[in-house]
Structure 1
């Protein structure tokens, strides 16, 4: 019987006339994401249960990593009260307080470290200044060390040495515009030291002031903070004053430790007394 082309059944659609792995129509399935790519993640097995199990097995985890306390968010639980009311759980508040204490301790630690470094720097500067005073080969060089070098050594802007004049001290040949020819050494009016320090005060630290022209001379306009230290050189000498000035407000302040400045002043007193062969 001859073959009729019209009776031929068309081959099913698909690759090479074959039914593919899709549905019965032979259509290809939609491409699926490769699950292996998700398995490449380092956290593929990390979930709440895994983390909880790890913490149960390592109860000291937060002890070893206390910084995480500030990262974790504590739960805010509400408990039913015995009388049917609502009682807030205090755990959250306790944790917040602990965090605050930790921040305070950290700030205190940072402050102590900063203060310690500053004190070490100040101590080194004072020691260097004292060595310079003791090393002066002449009395004139000693005065120049105080009035010229001290400001550089102490990282301030001006240092002066003031001595009250007495009536018998006034000699025009010694003065040039009210100042002894040794630069930086000022003769001030009787009572100036008491006016500035009072009758007994040894040292005065002022945080914010306008520089005293009697003390700092032409540099007074630069001074915004100062340290004034009484010098008791000898019973036979007039009152004297070591003045340190800085342009930065707060360079000296009342809360500042004074032991190093006292040591500097005491060293200067002894050295001047030795050079002038004065009784102590």
Structure 2
């Protein structure tokens, strides 16, 4: 047992610092590195033959807290990313609904809408039972393409998505020029959106292409693009009516 003389010989902490700690103990409790140092000093004082169960429990709790904080940051980052994606889709839809003529609608699709969506190519594929030599189709060849019946099913046949899936995301090594035109050689990923253009009409497909191979991958969610496709096909029904 320490005598009064032993206690008086123990070096005293700087008085202003000691007073600050006494009045604001949270300063120490909130400092992880300082708390580790104090716990380590306590373990050394107890000696090597004593198992500090409280210290072990604190270490485990600290590890769990670190994992929880990492998860919390990941959830927040995902929420911000989803919010940003939602805003982009909403802006693209509003711009898509502005035109009052079909040719302007298609021109904006390959221009302002593509820029808002941050993609390098936007192509609309319509199936037709006959070769369509309509002048408007020829004029909009950089956005609009007419394909034979069954082309869309064949084009998506090698994808991993199940049959009837609305949105297909995949990476490309050799993009199809029949779909992407002159930009095919530069594209490394695409989003294909099936379009239901109404009763007794052949299907269509909206294809977004990107030079970034990671912009569209099968692991990503498709809710926003499904919503975008739903609005787009309703706009197309209006133009085709």
Shorter-chain TM range is 0.7 to 0.9
Q: Deviations over 1:229-257 (max 9, x none)?
A: 10001122222111111112221233433
Structure 2: runs of 5+ lacking an equivalent:
1-12
CA radius of gyration, larger in: 1
Task: Give, in angstroms, the shift of residue 44 of structure 1.
Answer: 3.9
Match for 1:45 among 15, 37, 56? 15
Match for 1:181 among 122, 130, 139? 139
Rounded to whole Å, the distance in 2 between the matches of 1:92 and 1:209 is 53
Match for 1:241 among 205, 221, 227? 205
Task: Give, in angstroms, the shift of residue 142 of structure 1.
Answer: 1.3
Match for 2:152 among 193, 201, 209? 193
Matched pairs, number = 218
Contact 1:133 1:142 in 2 (8 A): yes
The match for 1:224 is 188
Contact 1:164 1:192 in 2 (8 A): yes
Q: 1:137 to 1:99 in 2, by over 3 A?
A: same
The match for 1:136 is 99
The match for 1:212 is 176
The match for 1:267 is 231
Query: Which stretch shows the higher mean deviation, 213-222 or 86-95?
Result: 86-95
Is 1:165 matched up with 2:160? no
CA RMSD, Structure 1 to Structure 2 (Å): 3.2
Rounded to whole Å, the distance in 1 between the matches of 2:235 and 2:183 is 26
The match for 1:104 is 67
Rounded to whole Å, the distance in 1 between the matches of 2:178 and 2:29 is 60
Rounded to whole Å, the distance in 1 between the matches of 2:176 and 2:59 is 51
Structure 1: runs of 5+ lacking an equivalent:
1-42, 81-85
Contact 1:213 1:220 in 2 (8 A): yes
Rounded to whole Å, the distance in 1 between the matches of 2:95 and 2:57 is 57
Which of the two has greater helix per residue?
Answer: 2
Task: Give, in angstroms, the shift of residue 161 of structure 1.
Answer: 0.8
Contact 1:233 1:273 in 2 (8 A): yes
The match for 2:54 is 91
Rounded to whole Å, the distance in 2 between the matches of 1:65 and 1:162 is 63
Q: 1:71 to 1:193 in 2, by over 3 A?
A: farther
Contact 1:79 1:88 in 2 (8 A): no
Q: Deviations over 1:12-42 (max 9, x none)?
A: xxxxxxxxxxxxxxxxxxxxxxxxxxxxxxx
TM-score, structure 2 as length reference: 0.75
Q: Deviations over 1:110-151 (max 9, x none)?
A: 223322222222211111111122211101111222233221
